[in-house]
């Protein structure tokens, strides 16, 4: 199964060594320090091993007897106890310092507040201060060093433990039922960053992707205004709208501006503004949307949305309506 993110042109292999946000820069800094220390240890240990192998190898004329053995040396024992202990202390203290600096970073007044809810197997994204609900594609403003506008994220779970991870923007944070965890990102470069559920959460754990789109302030304001609008009532597709609100769709999905106000599945008010379907498993094209409504499991085996058992005509009518949810 090819992932939808690749289809829509987003590199599916993010690297924590290409950071684009404040916590991620700090995490790379710490990683390099740890890497430098352990590389030093490797070079010393491997170097001494290679030296001993070459220096004390069997040579022609060896008499086959063991060389003189050394029993007990306080100096050597002290050295191999104290030096590793000091190294562990340094690693522990620097790591603790970075963790506390990231976790205790205060939210400035201009911070954007977002709530992300992990579901099997998709992400609900709410902007409580803006009245927006969307799914799988988090949109945030870029942060200017002179006037920081980081995004603070409250993480909740609707079912099992998930883990929220966008390697280029911040470290992993578990998403735990009955608990609210907090994380934050402060992206400095506009662009699209790929994330992934990082805690095994069931059959479609791997199909629980998310993207973060970082906008310039103007673009972000435009996105907010578009998302705040209720769904347009297009007369040409009213038959599809009536079908949507008369079949099972409305028990799980919301479309603002219609009677549909279900909450188990993603909010579809601006479905067509999203690049992918099924949390990143397929590009959001009319063909894929039709295939998804017909039988979600065909694109995402195990998806909790049932096959709708609609006729071809009914599918066409319904998808024509969904395609107007921009």
Q: Are 228 and 130 in contact (CB under 8 A)?
A: yes
Min separation Cβ 69 and ligand CUA, Å: 54
Q: CB burial class (10 A; 0-12, 13-18, 19+) of residue 55?
A: exposed
CA–CA gap between residue 37 and residue 45 (Å, rounded): 12
Min separation Cβ 290 and ligand CUA, Å: 27
Nearer Cβ to ligand CUA, position 153 or 201? 201
Nearer Cβ to ligand CUA, position 141 or 207? 207
Nearer Cβ to ligand CUA, position 150 or 280? 280
Min separation Cβ 157 and ligand CUA, Å: 9
Nearer Cβ to ligand CUA, position 186 or 199? 199
CA–CA gap between residue 313 and residue 318 (Å, rounded): 9
Q: Is residue 243 helix, strand or coil?
A: helix
Residue 102, C-beta contacts closer than 8 angstroms, at least 6 positions apart: 23, 26, 27, 170, 171
Min separation Cβ 175 and ligand CUA, Å: 7
Torsion of CA 72, 78, 84, 90, to 10 degrees: 180
Residue where the block lists tokens 């007897």: 65
* Residues in contact with ligand CUA by the rule CB under 6 A: 118, 121, 162, 197, 199-201, 205, 208
Nearer Cβ to ligand CUA, position 156 or 199? 199
Min separation Cβ 103 and ligand CUA, Å: 22
Using CA atoms, how far residue 135 sits from 22, 88, 116, 229, in Å, is 24, 42, 9, 16
Q: Are 283 and 277 in contact (CB under 8 A)?
A: yes
Nearer Cβ to ligand CUA, position 3 or 201? 201
Min separation Cβ 293 and ligand CUA, Å: 23
**Among 302, 21, 244, 274, which Cα is nearest to 123's?**
274
């Amino acid at each position: 199964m090819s992932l939808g993110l690749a289809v829509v042109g987003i590199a599916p292999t993010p690297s924590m060594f290409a950071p684009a946000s404040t916590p991620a820069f700090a995490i790379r800094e710490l990683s390099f320090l740890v890497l430098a220390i352990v590389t030093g240890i490797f070079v010393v240990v491997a170097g001494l091993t290679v030296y001993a192998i070459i220096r004390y190898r069997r040579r022609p004329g060896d008499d086959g007897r063991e060389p003189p053995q050394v029993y007990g040396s306080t100096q050597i024992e002290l050295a191999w106890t104290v030096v590793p202990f000091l190294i562990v202390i340094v690693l522990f203290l620097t790591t603790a310092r970075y963790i506390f600096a990231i976790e205790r970073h205060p939210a400035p007044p201009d911070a954007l507040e977002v709530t992300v809810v992990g579901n099997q197997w998709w992400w609900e994204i709410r902007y409580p201060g803006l009245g927006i609900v969307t799914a799988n594609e988090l949109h945030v403003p870029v942060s200017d060093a002179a006037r920081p506008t980081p995004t603070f994220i409250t993480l909740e779970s609707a079912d099992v433990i998930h883990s929220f991870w966008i390697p280029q923007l911040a470290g992993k944070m578990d998403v735990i039922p009955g608990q609210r965890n907090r994380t934050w990102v402060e992206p400095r470069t506009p662009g699209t960053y790929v994330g992934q559920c990082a805690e095994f959460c069931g059959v479609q754990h791997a199909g629980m992707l998310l993207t973060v789109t970082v906008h310039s302030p103007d673009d972000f304001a435009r996105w907010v205004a578009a998302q705040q609008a209720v769904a347009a009532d297009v007369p040409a597709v009213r038959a599809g709208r009536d079908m949507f609100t008369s079949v099972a769709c409305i028990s799980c999905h919301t479309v603002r501006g219609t009677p549909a106000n279900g909450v188990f599945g993603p909010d579809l008010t601006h479905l067509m503004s999203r690049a992918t379907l099924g949390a990143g498993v397929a590009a959001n094209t009319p063909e894929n949307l039709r295939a998804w409504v017909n039988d979600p499991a065909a694109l995402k085996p195990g998806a909790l949305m049932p096959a709708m058992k609609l006729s071809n005509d009914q599918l066409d009518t319904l998808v024509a309506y969904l395609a107007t949810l921009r």
